[in-house]
Amino acid sequence: MRITTEVFNNFVDTILLHRFWKPFCFCLMETDIKINELLALKWKDINFNKNEINVQAYVYPSGTMIIPYKSSKDFQFSSLLETILIEYKKFRERLSRQKRYVDKDELIFGNDKGIVRSLSGVSHVFRKFLRRKGLDCYNITLKSLRGVLREQNKIFVEAQQEYIKNKEYSLM
């Protein structure tokens, strides 16, 4: 199901206020990273100098272990996502100073104890979050968010090109 602009804007306004869902969803929306890859992402996998995420592993479907890839995958990200990730990293560091030592091998989206989250658990909590915010009627899933910003930008550019092309024809 295609997400309309109005629904998407309501969704973005809602997640912008949430510390976990904001970086998680923006990572999904801006890149082609799979959800189980995002759950296995560590701070050392992000190169802020190159605006690049290096995916080296994924979470096994049961959510109990992280499986490394034989070769890594690289994904580019925008300055907006960079800002969101830096903000989230600072939040996690503040949280961690209160509880435990943090290092570069820490999972970005691990739970408060640094343990990997399961795909089913994250999906369940996401559905509960949408229900509490009144967005559950739109059938938004984590999977449907993957690459949506890149998709919408592409469609917008194509629509603009079509519009300009039609204008040129009408001028003749």
Q: What is the pLDDT of residues 39-71, one digit of tens each?
A: 999 888 888 888 888 999 999 887 778 889 988
Q: Which of 27-31, 64-68, 116-120, 164-168 has the lowest mean pLDDT?
A: 164-168
- The domains found in the chain, sorted by start residue, are 5-147 (1.10.443.10)
163's tokens:
């519009």
121-162 pLDDT tens trace: 899 999 999 999 988 877 888 888 887 776 555 554 454 445
63's tokens:
């959510």
d(CA 93, CA 44): 14
Q: What's the pTM value of the predicted model, to 2 decimals?
A: 0.78
Residue with tokens 């994924």: 58
pLDDT at position 6 is: 77
Please provide the average confidence, as pLDDT, over all residues in the chain.
78
